Amino acid sequence: MKFVDEAVITVQSGRGGNGCVSFRRERFIPRGGPDGGDGGAGGSIVFTATTAKHTLFDFKFKPLLKAENGVGGQGKNKSGRQGEDLIVEVPSGTIVGDVETGAVLKDFVRSGDSVVLARGGRGGRGNAHFKSSTNRAPRFAQPGEPGVTLQLKLELKLLADAGIIGLPNAGKSTLISRISAARPKIADYPFTTLVPNLGVVAPGGGRHPFVVADIPGLIQGAHKGTGLGTRFLKHVERTRLLIHLVDISAVEAGCIRKTYDAVNQELKRYGRQLAAKPQLVVLNKMDLPETAQKAAAFRHAVPDRMILTISAVSGQGVHALVGAIAGQLEAETD
């Protein structure tokens, strides 16, 4: 299914049913009086979060969602049936906002979260309610209230414990396929990954599994939308740890920090505290020639970060990396 992380939809709750104007007419019972029943309430629009969905793709083909209208009342004091609520399932991590006001109506950070975003219209009261000592035969009833119509913007921000970031072709997809069951597209050219991928990692040793997101490669100007830009930078906002993957084989001897600093600058310019998140720096492609010397130079140039060396292709150092990620996440939890 195609990955879609933004959608604009219109929701409309059901209209309440009209109250009924009716009079009791039975043989041998003169002046039976009013017996019009109430209309049923309209159905509401209820949003709920689920882990069974991972994209907003379905909403591209359903721009209008309507709940059922309430049924009008009947004679003999019979109330109309209530309209059925419309349950709308969205992926966990979805933010629902009002297009007109820009207000955030709900941020679904946990699976099972549920909220009524458009309540159904109230059903009208039948004429039986309006009988009084001065009006024994009311010939009117209340109409049902209209439903609520809202235009909503849905924005999905993936829920992951750690996000793998780096320049294009750093080996992010290879790494996530190595440490989890995720199988993203892998090829030897930039921007192979066009959408984020999620993978569940089981570190073993009694440690809890964690979720890793493979974020499409960042380039200079990403904070302004260049390349895949801000569309996917938002997906690391919720992560607790950043795994900064560096292709050490591509690092030039004269500017050892260039690629590392370029990614961090984009995080800083994007804002929203991304640059302040804990980072685990990982030097990849250590199976290639001359990478040992470059890794030593990198460690000397970046002394303030925890640095690990791996080869996502051969598996060298990957087990230690998984343990380090699990340990860092446990420390962040504490």
Banded pLDDT at 55 (limits 50, 70, 90): confident
24 and 142 co-located in one domain: yes
Structural domains of the chain, count:
2
Question: Which are the contacts of 148, defined by CB distance < 8 A and separation ≥ 6?
Answer: 12, 13, 45, 118, 119, 121
Q: How far apart are CA 20 and CA 124, in angstroms?
A: 8
Whole-number pLDDT of residue 228: 44
Element (H, E) at 197: strand 197-201
Report which of residues 255 and 50 the model is more confident about.
50
29 and 134 co-located in one domain: yes
Whole-number pLDDT of residue 223: 38
According to the per-residue pLDDT averaged within each range, which of 13-22, 150-159, 237-246, 258-267 is highest?
13-22
Query: What is the tens place of the pLDDT at every residue in 148-166?
Result: 999 999 999 888 899 998 8
3-state class (DSSP) for residue 131: coil
Whole-number pLDDT of residue 207: 86
DSSP codes, 75-95: TTTBPPPPPPPEEEEEETTEE
118 and 196 co-located in one domain: no
According to the per-residue pLDDT averaged within each range, which of 13-17, 62-66, 222-226, 243-247 is highest?
13-17
Q: How far apart are CA 19 and CA 29, in angstroms?
A: 24
Is residue 259 predicted with pLDDT exceeding 90? Answer: no
149-156, strands of its sheet edge to edge: 64-66, 6-12, 149-156, 94-98, 104-107
115 and 99 co-located in one domain: yes
Least confident interval from 44-48, 134-138, 141-145, 181-185: 181-185
Query: What is the tens place of the pLDDT at every residue in 117-157?
Result: 999 999 999 999 999 988 988 999 999 999 999 999 999 98
178 and 307 co-located in one domain: yes
Could you give the percent of the chain with pLDDT greater than 70?
89
Let me know: does 213 contact 195? Beta carbons within 8 Å.
Answer: no
CATH number at residue 290: 3.40.50.300
Q: Which of 129, 156, 183 is the last residue of a domain?
A: 156
Whole-number pLDDT of residue 216: 74
Whole-number pLDDT of residue 226: 41
Taking the CA atoms of residue 186, residue 189, residue 190 and residue 196 in that order, the dihedral angle to the nearest 10 degrees is -10
Tokens at residue 165, please? 């970031």
Banded pLDDT at 169 (limits 50, 70, 90): confident
Average pLDDT over residues 29-35: 80
Is residue 296 predicted with pLDDT exceeding 50? Answer: yes
48 and 68 co-located in one domain: yes
Whole-number pLDDT of residue 23: 92
136 and 248 co-located in one domain: no
Average pLDDT over residues 309-323: 95
Query: What is the tens place of the pLDDT at every residue in 196-246?
Result: 778 889 898 888 899 998 887 654 443 344 444 456 677 788 889 999 999
Please give the C-alpha separations between residue 97 and each of 6, 232, 249, in angstroms, as whole numbers. 11, 19, 44
Whole-number pLDDT of residue 122: 97
CATH number at residue 147: 2.70.210.12
Whole-number pLDDT of residue 182: 67
Domain of residue 24, residue span: 1-156
Q: How far apart are CA 243 and CA 154, in angstroms?
A: 27
Tokens at residue 109, please? 């950070």
137 and 240 co-located in one domain: no
